Amino acid sequence: MKTSSSSSTFAVAALALAHAGSAVELNTADTSSIKTAASTVAKGLYVFHNEQATTGQFNQPQPWFWWLSGSGWTGLMDYTMYTKDTTYKADLLSALGKNVGPNFDFQPPEQSGWEANDDQAYWLYAGLTAMEYGFDTLPGAPSWDVIATNTFNLFVSRWNTDSTTCNGGLKWQYDPKANGWTYKNSVTNGAFFQTAARLARYTGNQTFADWANKVWDWSTGVGLVSADYHVYDGTSDDKGANCSSVNHIEWSYNIASYLHGAAHMANFTGDAVWEKRVLGFVDTAAATFFTPAKTGVMFEQQCEPSHACTTDQTSFKASLSRWLGKTAVLVPSATTTVMGLLENSAKGAAQSCVGNGNSTCGVSWTGKGFDGQSDFGVELSALETIQSLLVFDAPAFKSISGKKSANPPASESSTAPAGTSTVATSTTASSTTLITTTTTAAGSTSVPAGGSKSSPTGGLTCGKKQKRHRKHR
Ligand SMILES: *[C@@H]1O[C@H](CO)[C@@H](O)[C@H](O)[C@H]1NC(C)=O
Ligand SMILES: *[C@@H]1O[C@H](CO)[C@@H](O)[C@H](O)[C@H]1NC(C)=O
Ligand SMILES: *[C@@H]1O[C@H](CO)[C@@H](O)[C@H](O)[C@H]1NC(C)=O
Ligand SMILES: *[C@@H]1O[C@H](CO)[C@@H](O)[C@H](O)[C@H]1NC(C)=O
């Protein structure tokens, strides 16, 4: 990978040469090169690791970015399964154990008053991935599908509570006192849809498929998912609005959330209707989040061109890469297009990883080299994009349904059958004595306008988190 550009000044060329040794070399045709690149970027992500941090065992800037840590651990679980490098496995299990909560639903007491439905989902995604790849269970905890079902059941009851407006839809927040209680958005409903779909494929239980269909129908009905597969940010039930208008901003993680759910439904049902939806999402994602469309490199079109991506937003490409990759496995007709998109993006990401005099990655992958912006989400996005090239090296998606899933038999599965265990009441190693977290280099406390992770009205996240700001223990 060349790190020097066409710059004609000697100084810049010399600087680039000096950094060439720390560039992330990536030959996308060579598995061991991809593994080495992923390993280097994983180290860059792990700079943020802090076992004592109450923000999910990673240092996160203020305000409270616990959800990002959940996304990070999900990425490191994929890393472990794709590369067979077990460096992070013990810490991963420790972090999940400390954050799964006493009721085994990713609602730890430490996050009470902060946690929203989408935050919970971004930790559950690690649990769903563990379920699908037969990853170790947590000591003293039920199997991963039981944990996922516990969270699913919470989403069901909250949906039912929230159905007095808009004829359904899950709210962003589950705490009525939280700012953002009136927002019914795509990251949340896409999460519920995806959770139901993944449980349906894994268990073969129609109840989950019925909910996936129900959330799908609501999302399309209200206009969060359009007929041409754009996914818009959210809609509101504030003051009688009844979801009559939609906020049309598009973020890559929103379309990714629905894409991955649709991929599981396509795989589970074998139905051409779901396959068409998957291919529709892939095309729309290609046209919206890659430049130039289809052959280009992934970019967060809402904030990247204006250099305005916030702490949340720099991580969104991690979701798109992660779930595009898994879609390539689950839906064979999408494989070629998806892997082409990921390959170009991985090359772009890798060549950006020359920041800070080491291998720190940049937020934008469409230019040359490092663009000067780095944080947890940036590293995670680069990691997921590069390692997704190894998605076919992962174990086959397991299933206990014994039918429908075309995966190899689930006999090697180490997880217990669904429904054999009730919600356990004892706590795991889950620590309730969590200590101080420190802010990172990225530690700005302000969320600029347009900077909320789930809403363009940046005040939502900001207000929610900062109003409820509390002293760390
Ligand atoms: C890269 O350099 C930055 C700035 O000095 C440092 O904070 C970070 O830990 C380094 N990354 C790695 C992977 O060593
Ligand atoms: C609210 O919106 C839902 C879904 O679009 C619709 O079914 C319902 O009739 C609306 N209720 C009112 C009071 O407008
Ligand atoms: C299917 O899942 C639902 C929701 O968890 C559960 O109530 C039901 O008992 C399950 N059905 C079977 C046949 O396992
Ligand atoms: C489901 O996914 C598997 C790979 O995990 C694939 O072999 C199979 O063809 C897929 N089934 C359908 C119906 O797409």
Residue 328 identity (one-letter amino acid): A
Phi, psi of 250 (to 5 degrees): -120, 130
* Alpha helix (H) residue ranges in 115-185: 117-133, 144-162
CA-wise closest residue to 166 among 242, 267, 84: 242
Is residue 183 classed as helix, strand or coil in its secondary structure? strand
CA-wise closest residue to 281 among 194, 389, 214: 194
Nearest-5° Cα angle at 234, 345 to 119 = 70
Q: Is the CB of 166 under 6 A from ligand 2?
A: yes
- Give the whole-number percent of the chain exceeding pLDDT 90: 77
Cα distance between residue 453 and residue 451, in whole Å = 6
Cα distance between residue 298 and residue 385, in whole Å = 9
Cα distance between residue 138 and residue 91, in whole Å = 12
Whole-structure pTM value: 0.85
Cα distance between residue 14 and residue 16, in whole Å = 5
Q: What pLDDT sits at residue 64?
A: 84
* pLDDT tens-digit readout, 195-222: 999 999 999 999 999 999 999 999 999 9
Q: What pLDDT sits at residue 119?
A: 98
Q: What pLDDT sits at residue 294?
A: 62
The number of the ligand nearest the C-alpha atom of 328 reads 4
Q: How far is CA 408 from CA 55, 124, 202, 275, 283, in A?
A: 38, 25, 13, 20, 29
Instruction: Give the residue, by CA position, lying nearest to ligand 1 atom 5.
Output: 356
Rounded distance from Cα 356 to ligand 1 centre (Å): 7
In eight-state DSSP terms, residue 344 is H
Rounded distance from Cα 72 to ligand 2 centre (Å): 38
Longest dimension (CA), the chain: 68
Q: What pLDDT sits at residue 32?
A: 98
Rounded distance from Cα 362 to ligand 1 centre (Å): 13
Q: Does residue 393 contact residue 82 with C-beta atoms inside 8 Å?
A: yes
CB atoms under 10 Å from CB of 293, counted, come to: 13
CA-wise closest residue to 345 among 71, 37, 17: 37
Q: What pLDDT sits at residue 295?
A: 65
Query: Averaged in consecutive runs of 10 residues, what is the pLDDT profile of the chain (473 residues)?
Result: 32 41 88 98 98 96 92 98 98 98 97 95 98 98 98 98 97 94 97 98 98 98 98 97 98 98 98 98 97 84 96 98 98 97 97 97 95 97 98 97 48 33 27 23 25 32 32 24
Q: How far is CA 319 from CA 37, 95, 196, 359, in A?
A: 19, 20, 18, 22
Q: What pLDDT sits at residue 401?
A: 79
